[in-house]
Amino acid sequence: MNLIILNYIIEHPIDIILGIANICLIIGLMSIYWKSYKHYITRFSLGLVLFAAFLLIHNLLYVITFITYQNFWGGGKIRT
The one-digit pLDDT tens for each residue of the chain (80 residues) are 566 666 666 666 788 888 899 999 999 999 999 999 999 999 999 999 999 999 999 999 988 887 777 555 555 555 55
Burial of 9 (0-12, 13-18, 19+ CB in 10 A): middle
- This prediction has a pTM of 0.70
Question: Which string of b and e fits 15-34 if b means at least 16 CB within 10 Å?
Answer: beeebeebbeebeebbeebb
> For residues 15 and 20, what is the distance between their CA atoms, to the nearest angstrom?
9
